[in-house]
Amino acid sequence: MSTVDTAERRPRILIPARFSTSASALRYGAEVTSRNLVEGVWAAGGEPLMVHPHAPGGVADPDEVAARLEVADGVLLPGGGDLAAHWTGQDPHPTLYDVDEEQDAFDLAVARIALERGIPLLAICRGLQVVNAALGGTVVQDMDTEYGEGRHHRHRVHATAVAPDSALAAVLGEKLDVSCYHHQCLATLGTGLRVIARASDDVVEAVELEDPRGWFLGVQWHPEDTWAENDAQLGVLRALVDASR
């Protein structure tokens, strides 16, 4: 793990919070993010900034969101609950969970603005699906229903193959094991996305943009799960921080 010069200002990595119905010691609903995730961003040299997802009634003001992103050197769209199906023009599936229209609208606005302005962007799990939806793509609503019982990737570590001609291969190599937690995955790709990694069962595990305005990577797995013991996964977070300097 590299030592970060504490005299150098850490790149500010903006992370939209996740709504939670409760948290220890709080009397109201909470806004949270994964401790593993923020500690991983810190270990990679970044300054994690959790921000309030403001999109009342499921409508985000693009100008307001853009103004709030001005403080960010980079953006990380984290995992979380499912997107409401209407964002991808699909019918809702009974297995959808933790859907929040305000969360969705804010994340989608963040994704669009970051991509349009070339702000370095790392999208993890749900975050990848948000980017795909923002670019006109769709998701498999439930992998067990679509592919057969037991095909979801919840609590699963599996082998992944990375395209050798991708920037990701330079960070992770062409073969690696990744930690996953998801029951949905990408179906139709959004405009401009290119698959650069697949699981052994052919599920899309990572994408890049064919013609990005700035640095972008989307991964279906959770690098924050294993960064402390796996330097390659820390490398995913470090790539975002380095691109944000």
Is 65 within 8 Å of 30 (Cβ atoms)?
A: no
Alpha carbon of residue 38 to chain centroid: 13
The DSSP code sequence of 2-29 is PPP-TTSPPPEEEEE-EEES--TT-SS-
Is 146 within 8 Å of 91 (Cβ atoms)?
A: no
d(C-alpha 121, C-alpha 134), whole Å: 14
Is 58 within 8 Å of 3 (Cβ atoms)?
A: no
> Residues 125, 180, 182, 205: which is the catalytic one?
125
Residue with the two structure tokens 């990577």 = 217
Please state the φ and ψ torsions of residue 172, each to the nearest 5 degrees.
Answer: -110, -15
Is 182 noted as a catalytic residue in this protein? no
Nearest C-alpha neighbor of 196 from the set 215, 177, 220, 180: 220
> Residues 153, 185, 205, 224: which is the catalytic one?
224
d(C-alpha 212, C-alpha 226), whole Å: 28
Give the count of beta carbons closer than 10 Å to the beta carbon of residue 83: 25
Is 224 noted as a catalytic residue in this protein? yes
> Residues 152, 182, 183, 222: which is the catalytic one?
222
Residue with the two structure tokens 């290119």 = 194
Is 222 noted as a catalytic residue in this protein? yes
d(C-alpha 196, C-alpha 213), whole Å: 18
Provide the annotated active-site residues: 125, 222, 224
